């Protein structure tokens, strides 16, 4: 019996409370694609946990219990898998990499990715990361001097694409300075199309292609061509360097260690009997590009929603950043970066209120019983994140934007606003259950890029606060969540001025 199983009284999925639907359609008509996550959360508030809705004729169970979420994620990939249509559609995209691959195949791939995204590797990569952040600063300085409004989602995605490419693949596309590099625009199409096809009751694209599908297919052809060229260049460089090293030292018996994820994947792929194909390597390259671009950029953008509308908070963050950066425009070293806790706390708190991943979707590989409910193998499960993060039992005053809740006590006093009262002591702030924050997942398949994301958040927000004043260029009330697999802001235009 599953660790989360309880209760001798067993209920079936059909016994769970459900919103009223229509024959054949179920609740499909009540779930607008861009805001369906908000509807799921509203039903959770009305019906409790768990409840069931019907996607056409398919029942989908919805849960908002944090302990159950942890229990399910602990038992991946052996008892649960990700929602099966996600893997099927990503295979069609040529993007079935570490994020979506199931079964035993994920373990060797995860080891490679974890090594590439390890703290020592990121520490060694830090000078390049700082250089890309300086490139972003120059872009923003030009916009500030010209009085141009900055599309923050656009610029942050360019930044994260450059970082991910340089770290994982050893090549920097420099999308921040090369406006006509299309890879960022093409990658931005993938997650919205994934969401659209996962939620489509019929795989119409197998039979007829709409203009949107044809545009996406053309973009993916270009992306995969770019990836294959990247792989070919990397292989050629590895062969050339191996030849040079062999000539320089005939006594050297130890091969050179791979310098990035792509080199490690290609070295493993080219070992006799590896069982790994070029298609699998390409899928992981694309997975890394998409994952590295979307989630971190969105977390930083949501933080700007609060920072750009609060002058006092911005003054405080600027003082915090300048104290760490000194006279530098960008945080000068990895050690100093570790002092920028407030910058990461801004993003963490923003994504508590506006979760980038509003839910995760799973299905059991065998029959399980969860909280007294029998779930046959293959039952669809949505695990909502925001209800637990907005529960006062988990976070005191949960509707308030309060980055200090994520800081240690000495930080509260040290970072007090100039001339203002220091934030209240954490002991009096109420509940703070960090287990309820699941934006990076949990269990064996917790997000391997969480440390890189934290470093990027700290670098970008400290650079912004130390060098610029930021003001939202629209009424904050206009900005709303749009769910395109991840929950992104509908817009994030910001007007920058030099400090």
Would residue 56 count as lying in a domain? yes
The pLDDT score that the predictor gives to residue 200 is: 85
| φ and ψ of 469, to 5 deg | -100, 135
The pLDDT score that the predictor gives to residue 352 is: 97
Would residue 6 count as lying in a domain? no
Q: Which residues contact 400 (CB under 8 A, 6 or more apart)?
A: none
The pLDDT score that the predictor gives to residue 267 is: 84
The residues pairing with 11 across neighbouring beta strands, listed in sequence order, are 373
- Give the span between the Cα atoms of 482 and 208, in whole angstroms: 27
Residue 447 is assigned to a ligand binding site: yes
- Give the span between the Cα atoms of 473 and 471, in whole angstroms: 6
pLDDT tens per residue across all 499 residues of the chain = 454 444 458 999 999 999 999 998 999 999 998 999 999 999 999 999 999 999 889 999 999 999 999 999 999 888 999 888 888 898 899 888 777 777 666 776 777 777 777 888 888 899 999 999 999 999 999 999 999 999 999 999 999 989 988 988 888 888 888 877 677 788 888 888 988 898 888 899 999 999 999 999 999 999 999 899 989 999 998 888 877 756 555 544 555 667 787 888 888 788 887 777 888 888 888 888 887 777 899 999 999 999 999 999 999 999 999 999 999 999 999 999 999 999 999 999 999 999 999 999 999 999 999 999 999 999 999 999 999 999 999 999 999 999 999 997 433 443 444 433 344 444 446 899 999 999 888 887 778 788 899 999 999 999 999 999 999 999 999 999 999 888 999 999 999 999 9
Instruction: For residue 355, give the nearest of 386, 381, 390 by alpha carbon.
Output: 386
Cα dist. 480→31, 91, 373, 407, 491 in Å? 16, 31, 35, 27, 8
- Give the span between the Cα atoms of 171 and 278, in whole angstroms: 19
- Give the span between the Cα atoms of 270 and 253, in whole angstroms: 19
Would residue 2 count as lying in a domain? no
pTM of the entire structure?
Answer: 0.86
Would residue 334 count as lying in a domain? yes
Would residue 409 count as lying in a domain? yes
Residue 426 CA, distance from chain mean position: 28
CB 330 within 8 A of CB 137: yes
**Residue ranges of the alpha helices (H) in 117-210?**
119-146, 152-169, 183-187, 190-198
The pLDDT score that the predictor gives to residue 97 is: 78
- Give the span between the Cα atoms of 280 and 112, in whole angstroms: 13
Would residue 210 count as lying in a domain? yes
Would residue 294 count as lying in a domain? yes
Query: What is the total count of domains within the chain?
Result: 1
The pLDDT score that the predictor gives to residue 411 is: 38
Q: Tokens standing for 317?
A: 């963050």
- Give the span between the Cα atoms of 318 and 495, in whole angstroms: 16
Q: DSSP assignment of 154-174, as one string?
A: HHHHHHHHHHHHHHHHS----
Q: Which residue has the tokens 């996607």?
A: 55
Total residues belonging to the chain: 499
**What range does the domain containing 338 cover?**
11-498
Residue 253 belongs to domain with CATH number? 1.10.630.10
Would residue 1 count as lying in a domain? no
């Amino acid at each position: 019996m599953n660790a989360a199983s309880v209760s001798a009284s067993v209920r079936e999925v059909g016994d769970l409370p459900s919103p009223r639907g229509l024959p054949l359609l179920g609740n499909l008509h009540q779930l607008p694609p861009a805001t369906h996550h908000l509807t799921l959360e509203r039903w959770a508030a009305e019906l409790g946990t768990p409840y069931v809705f019907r996607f056409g004729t398919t029942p989908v169970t919805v849960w908002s219990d944090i302990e159950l979420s942890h229990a399910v994620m602990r038992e991946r990939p052996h008892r649960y898998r990700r929602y099966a249509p996600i893997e099927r559609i990503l295979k069609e995209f040529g993007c079935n990499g570490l994020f979506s691959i199931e079964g035993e195949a994920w373990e060797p791939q995860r080891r490679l990715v974890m090594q590439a995204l390890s703290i020592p590797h990121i520490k060694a990569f830090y000078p390049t990361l700082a250089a890309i952040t300086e490139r972003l600063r120059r872009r923003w300085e030009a916009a500030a001097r010209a009085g141009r409004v900055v599309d923050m989602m656009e610029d942050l995605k360019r930044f994260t694409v450059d970082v991910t490419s340089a770290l994982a693949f050893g090549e920097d596309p420099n999308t921040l300075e090369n406006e006509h590099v299309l890879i960022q625009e093409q990658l931005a199409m993938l997650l919205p199309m994934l969401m659209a096809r996962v939620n489509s009751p019929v795989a119409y694209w197998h039979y007829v292609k709409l203009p949107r599908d044809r545009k996406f297919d053309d973009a993916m052809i270009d992306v995969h061509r770019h990836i294959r060229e990247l792989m070919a260049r990397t292989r050629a460089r590895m062969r050339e360097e191996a030849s040079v090293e062999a000539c320089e030292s005939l006594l050297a018996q130890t091969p050179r260690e791979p310098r990035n994820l792509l080199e490690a994947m290609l070295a493993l792929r080219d070992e006799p009997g590896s069982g790994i194909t070029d298609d699998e390597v390409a899928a992981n390259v694309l997975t890394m590009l998409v994952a590295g671009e979307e989630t971190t950029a969105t977390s930083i953008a949501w933080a700007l929603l609060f920072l750009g509308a609060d002058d006092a908070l911005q003054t405080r963050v600027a003082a915090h950043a300048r104290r760490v950066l000194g006279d530098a425009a960008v945080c000068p070293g990895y050690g100093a970066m570790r002092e920028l806790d407030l910058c990461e706390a801004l993003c963490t708190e923003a994504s508590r209120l506006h979760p980038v991943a509003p839910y995760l979707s799973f299905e059991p590989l065998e029959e399980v019983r969860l909280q007294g409910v029998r779930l046959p193998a293959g039952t669809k499960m949505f695990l909502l994140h925001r209800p637990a993060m907005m529960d006062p039992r988990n976070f005191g005053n949960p509707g308030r934007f309060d980055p200090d809740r994520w800081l240690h006590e000495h930080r509260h006093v040290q970072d007090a606003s100039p001339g203002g009262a220091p934030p209240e002591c954490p002991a009096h702030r109420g509940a703070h259950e960090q287990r309820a924050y699941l934006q990076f997942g949990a269990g064996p398949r917790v997000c391997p890029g969480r440390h890189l994301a934290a470093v990027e958040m700290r670098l970008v927000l400290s650079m912004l606060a130390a060098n610029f004043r930021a003001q939202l260029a629209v009424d904050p009330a206009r900005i709303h969540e749009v769910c395109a697999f991840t929950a992104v802001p509908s817009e994030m235009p910001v007007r920058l001025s030099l400090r």
